[in-house]
Every structure is written in structure tokens, then in C-alpha cells.
């Protein structure tokens, strides 16, 4: 028996309680981490300067600066909450969680870096302050973008399939967002503007996998309508399992390269994508479809009671 033939015999819907329990544990751990972070640090997540405000310092030198060395220089000058990223061949970008930096201190920081990596290119030296009000506006707009994406996804799937299909898919997407936020809270990954794109990518990926499964269920309803819905749905997810796994695995490998080869900001961004890819694939098969089955079975029981 081939592996694909074994997959077709899996009883995924029959183990709904197991899948829900696994997801619940992960989400509860994430919520607990958010509570601990709120008590310890005043915020459930570690927001970067794009959201809470701060200062950007850009400069290029004669030699390519080492990120770890630059971070230690900033720490020695009183700024430990920083993000350092290479910019170009010999440039560096320093993100400091402080709305203002004393000119004398910023000059000392640059002097310390110059002592190790040669003269600074005056044309590239730039200090930019990001006000907290801008960060709050970005957070508001980001939340609005995520909310609208969920709404339009629900409308699209409702029009193309049924409301129950759309609701199950949306709940799967909400599951993915909670899982991703929980993982970010546990590991205190800093969130900046690029994470908005990462979360939108997670939603897109989750919808893509979900639509494939829902389309297979709709197709089976056309010629197997008299079959129990849980059996029909289980056949749909087992038939699409290999396709979902292959697509997710190839995407996972590409993002994994970003995680390994990228600097700290890229690594943080790719962490969100990696979690989203895994969670999105999992939810489309093990969360959204079982939820749809529970919905349909609940409607069938309600209809039977009304007839009785």
C-alpha cells in the first residue's frame, strides 16, 4: 500500500477532539505568555519602534560593520533595546527604542563605530525620529487591514460556496492569527511594520488551503449528497492532504532559507511566516473542516428536532 493510499484511509474528522485539544493548548500557552508579558513588560507583544516610536540611525563606513559589535557599542552607551541591520555593502541601520537621542551620545556612538570600521560616509549619515503617535496610527491601520481582509474573505467564500463554508474558513484564519501571535509572545519577537505583510500573507495562505478543501467538499456534494457529511468531508480532506502538504513544504523551505540566511529583522519576519505556513496548513485540514462538519451536523439535528 502506497503512502497516498494510507492517507485516504485516515479518519481525520473522527479525531476532531484531538485536533481541537492540540490547538487549544497552543493558544492557551500563547494567551498565558501575553498575560505574563503584560504584567512584566506592560504589553502583550514586543512592539518595535515602528509601532511604539523610536530613532533610526543610518550610516556607512569604510569597512562593513558587524551587527553584534554595533549592538554592543549601543548597549555600552545606554541603549540595550536596539535592532541592528546591515544596509548595503558597508552600511548599517540602528533602530533604538528612544524617541530622542542626545546629540552628544549619538556622536559618541558613531565615534566608537568609526574607531573600529573607519570613517563615516557623511552623505549616508542620517538620524530619523519616529513619534509614538505615528506608531499608534500604524497599529490602527494595520488592525483595520487585517479586519477588512477577514471580512472580504468571508464575503468571497460565502458568495462562491456557502456561508457555513466561509465561517469555517474565517475561524481557521482566526486560529492561525492567535497561534502566530502566541508564538511571537512566547519568544518575544519584536513586531514592526513588515509584520503587517506577514500576517496578510498568513491569511492569504490559510484561505488558499481552505478554499481547496472546501471546493473538494462542494464537488463531492454534487454526486454524493446522500452520504453522511462527516464521511464526505473526511474523503475531501484526505484527498487534498498530499497537495496541501507538498505546497506548504516547498514554501516552508523557501522561507526557511530567509530565516537562516537573513539578518535579525528578516529572521523575525520569516519566523512569523514559518509559523503561519504550518498553522495555515494545519487549520485548513484539522480545524476548518471539522468545524464545518460540526456546523452541518448541528443544523441537521436542529432540523430533525423541528420535524419531530
Confidence band of 263 (pLDDT split at 50, 70, 90): low
User: What angle in degrees, to the nearest 10, is found between the helix axes of 264-286 and 194-223?
Assistant: 20
State the pLDDT at residue 305. Answer: 77
State the pLDDT at residue 138. Answer: 72
Which of 133-147, 179-193, 217-231 shows the lowest per-residue confidence on average (mean pLDDT)? Answer: 133-147
State the pLDDT at residue 25. Answer: 96
For residue 217, give Cα distances in angstroms to 156, 233, 235: 17, 6, 8
pTM: predicted TM-score of the whole model, two decimal places = 0.79
- Which H or E element spans position 129? strand 126-130
Confidence band of 208 (pLDDT split at 50, 70, 90): confident
Q: Which of 245, 147, 254 is nearest to 203 (CA)?
A: 147
For residue 58, give Cα distances in angstroms to 36, 130, 185, 266, 278: 34, 14, 29, 17, 35
Confidence band of 286 (pLDDT split at 50, 70, 90): very high
- Which H or E element spans position 95? strand 91-96
pLDDT surpasses 80 at 53:
no
Cell of 260: 537562516
Residue-range domains of the chain with CATH: 3-42+134-306 (1.20.1640.10), 54-130 (3.30.70.260)
pLDDT surpasses 70 at 147:
yes
Q: Which of 175, 253, 254, 248 is nearest to 212 (CA)?
A: 248
Higher pLDDT among residues 207 and 24, named by residue? 24
Cell of 286: 484539522
Return the CA Rg of the chain. Answer: 24
Average pLDDT over residues 121-142: 75
State the pLDDT at residue 31. Answer: 95
Distance, CA of 93 to CA of 88 (rounded, Å): 10
113 by Cβ neighbours in 10 Å (0-12 / 13-18 / 19+) ranks as: buried
Work out the percent of the chain whose per-residue pLDDT is above 70.
96
Confidence band of 133 (pLDDT split at 50, 70, 90): low
Amino acid at each position: 500500500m502506497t503512502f497516498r493510499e494510507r492517507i485516504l484511509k485516515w479518519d481525520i474528522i473522527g479525531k476532531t477532539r484531538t485536533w481541537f485539544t492540540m490547538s487549544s493548548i497552543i493558544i492557551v500557552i500563547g494567551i498565558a505568555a501575553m498575560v505574563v508579558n503584560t504584567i512584566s513588560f506592560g504589553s502583550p507583544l514586543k512592539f518595535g519602534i515602528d509601532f511604539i516610536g523610536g530613532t533610526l540611525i543610518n550610516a556607512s563606513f569604510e569597512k562593513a560593520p558587524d551587527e553584534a559589535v554595533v549592538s554592543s557599542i549601543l548597549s555600552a552607551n545606554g541603549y540595550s533595546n536596539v535592532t541592528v541591520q546591515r544596509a548595503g555593502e558597508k552600511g548599517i541601520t540602528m533602530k533604538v527604542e528612544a524617541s530622542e537621542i542626545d546629540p552628544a551620545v549619538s556622536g559618541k556612538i558613531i565615534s566608537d563605530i568609526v574607531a573600529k570600521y573607519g570613517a563615516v560616509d557623511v552623505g549616508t549619515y542620517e538620524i530619523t525620529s519616529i513619534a509614538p503617535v505615528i506608531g499608534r496610527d500604524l497599529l490602527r491601520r494595520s488592525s483595520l487591514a487585517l479586519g477588512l481582509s477577514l471580512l472580504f474573505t468571508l464575503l468571497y467564500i460565502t458568495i462562491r460556496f456557502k456561508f457555513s463554508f466561509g465561517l469555517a474558513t474565517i475561524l481557521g484564519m482566526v486560529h492561525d492569527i492567535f497561534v502566530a501571535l502566541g508564538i511571537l509572545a512566547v519568544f518575544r519577537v519584536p513586531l514592526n511594520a513588515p509584520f503587517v505583510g506577514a500576517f496578510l500573507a498568513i491569511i492569504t495562505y490559510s484561505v488558499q488551503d481552505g478554499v481547496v478543501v472546501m471546493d473538494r467538499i462542494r464537488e463531492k456534494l454534487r454526486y454524493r449528497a446522500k452520504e453522511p457529511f462527516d464521511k464526505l468531508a473526511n474523503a475531501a480532506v484526505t484527498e487534498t492532504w498530499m497537495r496541501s502538504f507538498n505546497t506548504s513544504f516547498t514554501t516552508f523551505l523557501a522561507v526557511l532559507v530567509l530565516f537562516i540566511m537573513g539578518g535579525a529583522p528578516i529572521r523575525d519576519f520569516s519566523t512569523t511566516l514559518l509559523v503561519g505556513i504550518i498553522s495555515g496548513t494545519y487549520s485548513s485540514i484539522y480545524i476548518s473542516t471539522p468545524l464545518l462538519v460540526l456546523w452541518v451536523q448541528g443544523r441537521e439535528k436542529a432540523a430533525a428536532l423541528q420535524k419531530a
